[in-house]
A and B are shown apart, each in its own frame.
Chain A
Amino acid sequence: MSTIKSLDPRVTRFNIEEDDQSMQPLERRDYFETYEVFHQAKRGGRHTHVGSVHAPSPEMAFLFAKEQYGRRSTSTSIWVVRTSDIHTVGDEHSDMWENVPEKQYREAGFYKVRSRIEQFKKRHNDS
């Protein structure tokens, strides 16, 4: 009889049989939600997405995020946002992101002159 191999080694160590009928899934309300974490490394800088945490409330998500993503580097702020509050569209619409080649003129990277503009800006800032 094979036992459950979980990503969490503590679960694996219990040697729970895979078809153990005594273990029923929890009801929906017993699951924590996920929160997305945004970290600011210096004051005035942008908040960068660094990962997510599981938590039962925004306050707790903040507690976890601060230690999980803020303790190894300098931090000036952390945001947590309920993952379900982020609006996007699913993979079934992935073709939306494709561009036809002849529209590249609409992308900033298309212009050859861009590198010269950067050089000018650099010279200008240095002087």
Chain B
Amino acid sequence: MTASNEALKSLLYATADDLLILGHRNSEWTGLGPLLEEDIAFSSMAQDQMGQSLALYEILQRDLGERDPDTIAFLRPESEYRCCHFVEYPIGSYAFSLMRHFLFDQASYLRFAALAESSFKPLAFVSRKLLGEIKYHIMHGNTWMAQLSRGGEESHARMQSALNEAFPMALGIFEKLEHEEELVDAGVYAGSAQLRDLWLQHIEPALAHGGLALPELNAQEAGTAFFGGRKGFHSEHLGSLIEEMGAVLRSDPSADW
């Protein structure tokens, strides 16, 4: 059987919106990074993520009849976004942003590696092309993680506290998608729970290398504390972000760039 267009859209919007919103968030570090070279690297990865979201919005337009990427990215009402809460939160400290980057891109790599085998060919093709770019993001996250968590007592404590804050939020990446069973049955998508387990297997050794441990979670944190995004219910932070992202476009939607 093949998945319905509604199911494919649910997967593509969730994946693309995560990248668009986190890319936009991380771009807020441009000019403020802790080192000139790191400022450039982090900004460049934020641009990568916007580019990755564009590649998926193009599939939505070309293969699934959705509107053009600019309109989709900037002019949808908040309830039509399918990103998880994790990517919506403000940048916070650099420790938090780095930890989010590490946790998210590990998940992103595994998600695209699985989607590279998808039965939905346009998505499989794009996913294969994105893996190399994300491989660098993983190297960047792992290297910083090792550097800072082994950089003395204060540095280690900051990284552990960033992990404690970010980890329960990150579980929101793996909230079940709308129409998920249909996507799994059709071989389009591996399934959110399966991706989460694979992700845990990947992040734990990298964290342990820096002497960091996953925090104990209460029932709510381990459950649905940061869920809702995949159904269009968002944190308080998304609305103002969308407002800001689309401000220039809305000022003159007919302008030719």
Which of B35-43, B160-168, B174-182, B200-208 forms part of the interface with chain A? B35-43
Q: Are B41 and A67 in contact (CB under 8 A)?
A: yes
Asked if residues B35 and A54 are in contact (CB atoms below 8 Å), the reply is yes
For the A-B complex, the count of residue pairs with Cβ-Cβ distances under 8 Å equals 33
Q: Mark A49-62, 1 if CB is under 8 A from B, else 0.
A: 00001111101100
Alpha-carbon separation in the docked complex, A66 to B139 (Å): 11
Known interface pairs A54-B37, A68-B37. Does A63 touch B44 (Cβ–Cβ under 8 Å)?
no
Quick one: which of A54, A60, A67 has the most chain B CB within 10 A? A67
Mostly helix, strand, loop or mixed at chain B's interface? helix
What residues on A are CB-neighbors of B140 within 8 Å?
Answer: 63
Q: Kindly state the interface size class of chain A when it binds its partner.
A: 10 to 19
A-contacting residues of B (Cβ < 8 Å)? 35-38, 40-41, 44-45, 136, 139-140, 143-144, 147
Q: Are B143 and A64 in contact (CB under 8 A)?
A: no
Q: Is A71 an interface residue (CB 8 A)?
A: yes
Give the complex CA separation of A59 and B143 in angstroms.
7
Contacting residue for B136 out of A53, A56, A60, A66, CB 8 A = A66
Q: Which of A8, A54, A55, A60 has the most chain B CB atoms inside 10 A of its CB?
A: A60
16 examples of A-B residue contacts, CB within 8 angstroms: A8-B36, A53-B37, A54-B35, A56-B147, A57-B143, A57-B147, A63-B140, A64-B37, A64-B41, A66-B41, A66-B136, A67-B40, A67-B41, A68-B40, A68-B41, A71-B44
